[in-house]
Chains A and B, each alone.
Chain A
Amino acid sequence: SQQGEEDPQALSIQEGENATMNCSYKTSINNLQWYRQNSGRGLVHLILIRSNEREKHSGRLRVTLDTSKKSSSLLITASRAADTASYFCATDVAGNKLTFGGGTRVLVKP
C-alpha cells in the first residue's frame, strides 16, 4: 500500500488564488519531498523537508511538516496557469527509497 495519501485528489482554482494540498503518511520518515509533474513528463523536485524541520519556503512554495500528525502540506501562493500540474509528496523512510503519494491534480484557470 502507498505510504502517502494526498488530499484533495484534484483542485481547480483561479489564477492568483492560493492552492493547498495535504499529504499524510503512515510510518516515521527521514524526510519528505514534494514533486511536480506536468502531463506526460518526468518529475521536477520542488522541496525537501527533513523530519526535524517544521516549515520550508522556496519562492511561492511553502511546505509544512507535522511529524506528530504524520502530515505535510504544500501551499502555492499567487498561482499561475503554468502551475497546472500534478503534485506528489514522497517519503524517504530508509535506504533513500522514495514512496509516493497518490498525487493532487491542480488546474489553474486563467
Chain B
Amino acid sequence: GAVVSQHPSWVICKSGTSVKIECRSLDFQATTMFWYRQFPKQSLMLMATSNEGSKATYEQGVEKDKFLINHASLTLSTLTVTSAHPEDSSFYICSAGLLAGAGYEQYFGPGTRLTVT
C-alpha cells in the first residue's frame, strides 16, 4: 500500500518551454502533497506544499510563477516548470502524506529527471 507514482520518469526539453510533472497517490487519498528538488549528490530541498483545493505554499526562494502547482484532486498534484532554463535541470520528487499509526508519514514517488537543453 501507499504507492505514489510520478510521470514522466524523465524528460528532456528545450530552453524556454514548459514541462508538466504529475504526482499520483495510487491507493490512498492525500490532502497534502509535497514537491522537492534534488541536485546530484545533494539532499532533497522542499519546494512547496500542495494542498487539495487550495493554493500551494512555497518555500522561501522558490518562484511560484515559475513552478506552478495544481492539486486538483485527492490523488493528483501537478508541477509545471514554466519557461524552463538549463539551471532548472534537476531531479524532482513528490511525496504524499498519510497519517499512519506511528505518525504522519510521507510516501515518495520515484522522481522525474528533468534535463533542459
Contacts and interface: CB of A to CB of B under 8 A. Distances in A.
Interface of A: 2, 30-31, 33, 35, 40-45, 48, 50, 88, 92, 95-103, 105
Given A42-B110, A42-B111, A43-B93, A92 B46 contact: no
B43 A45 contact: no
A31 B93 contact: no
A100 B106 CA distance: 12
B108 interface: yes
Given A43-B93, A88-B43, 18 more contacts: A2-B43, A33-B106, A35-B108, A40-B113, A42-B108, A42-B111, A45-B105, A48-B102, A48-B103, A48-B105, A88-B44, A96-B104, A97-B46, A98-B95, A98-B106, A100-B43, A100-B45, A105-B41
B46 A98 contact: yes
A31 B104 CA distance: 9
Contacts of B41: 105
Interface string B77-117: 00000000000000101010100101111111111010000
Given A40-B113, A50-B102, A92-B104, A102 B93 contact: no
Given A88-B43, A96-B32, A97-B46, A45 B91 contact: no
Interface of B: 4, 6, 32, 34, 41-46, 49, 91, 93, 95, 97, 100, 102-111, 113
Contacts of B111: 40-42
Contacts of A40: 91, 111, 113
A45 B106 contact: yes
A57 to B, nearest CB: 13
Contact of B107 (A30, A45, A103): A45
Contacts of B100: 48
A42 B38 CA distance: 10
28 contacts: A2-B43, A31-B102, A31-B104, A33-B106, A40-B91, A40-B111, A40-B113, A41-B110, A42-B4, A42-B6, A42-B109, A42-B110, A43-B93, A43-B95, A44-B108, A45-B106, A48-B100, A88-B43, A88-B44, A92-B104, A95-B49, A98-B46, A100-B43, A100-B44, A100-B46, A101-B43, A102-B42, A102-B43
